[in-house]
Amino acid sequence: MRRPLVGVTADLRTYNNSLMHTVGDKYARAVWEASGCTPIIIPAMAESQEVHDMLDSLDGLLFTGSPSNVHPTRYGRDPHEKAEPYDQARDAMTFPLIDGALEKGLPTLFICRGFQELNAALGGTLHPRLHEVEGRLDHRMPRVDDMDVRYGLRHSMTFTPGGQFAEIAGATEIQVNSLHGQGIDEAAPGIEIEGVAPDGTPEAISVRGAKRFALAVQWHPEYKPLQNDFSTRLFRAFSEAVRGKD
């Protein structure tokens, strides 16, 4: 029996003067190890992709995090150095993927940049530098080499009682890591905020009225997911949806 196929979004980056489509190992490994699915990397090549044909061949989608940010024109704002760096090739690929996945009802998990892409794609806006907003915590990545410290638990996450995240967690509060510079400003009309950080920043959202699993988190559950209870539960729930058991 074949493993389900999960598309994993890639960045377009320059390395040694060459363009490369890249995906962090931890995303592909989480799909394989925590969800029991086969990761299929989707290059940031919107001009060469027939989105609906691609989605017909996949069982699920994972939108990854990234050092880059959604270009402000995608959510009705002017470009600004505070919102850099950008990856417009990725934007051109992921926004049609989001529309197509939601239309098709393909189980989809959005992480960090993927979380922000989902909100922007559905008509919401983003803060370019969340830590500069009065009353907000500094959610940015700790500047340390030790990856266990970098991805260590940083703050609490409070879930809406009775929501999808609370059901997955079996609790209304967990601890999460924090490695993002941007965040939701205005939530999109189709978004249900199901989890917030102590400063009120939305960090767990679902798509209202989605046909299937469509959940997004602002933190990084893909880092050593089998060593964290909620991360294990989240990828298991995603796996069950991909297998048509939701």
Half-sphere exposure of 142 (CA within 13 A, CB side): 13
Active site residue 139: no
71, 127, 180, 220: which one is catalytic?
Answer: 220
Helices (H), the chain: 25-33, 51-56, 88-104, 113-121, 147-150, 164-169, 229-242
Known active-site residue 103: no
Q: Is 35 helix (H, G, I), strand (E, B) or coil?
A: coil
Active-site residue, 131 included: no
CA dihedral 58, 59, 65, 71 (to 10 degrees): 50
- Helix, strand and coil percent figures for the chain, each rounded to 5: 35, 25, 45
Q: What is the distance of C-alpha 83 from the center of its chain?
A: 18
Strand 214-217 to strand 183-184: parallel, antiparallel, or no bridges (unpaired)?
unpaired
Q: What are phi and psi of 33, to 5 degrees?
A: -85, -40
Closest Cα to residue 115, out of 217, 10, 207?
217
Count CB neighbours of 171 within 10 A.
15
Out of 192, 194, 203, 222, the active site residue is: 222
Q: Which of 112, 117, 127, 180 is catalytic?
A: 112
Please give the angle made by the CA atoms of 165, 176 and 9, to the nearest 5 degrees: 75
In order of 14, 75, 153, 211, 239, the CA distances from 126 in angstroms are 26, 7, 24, 25, 29
Q: Which residues are catalytic?
A: 112, 220, 222
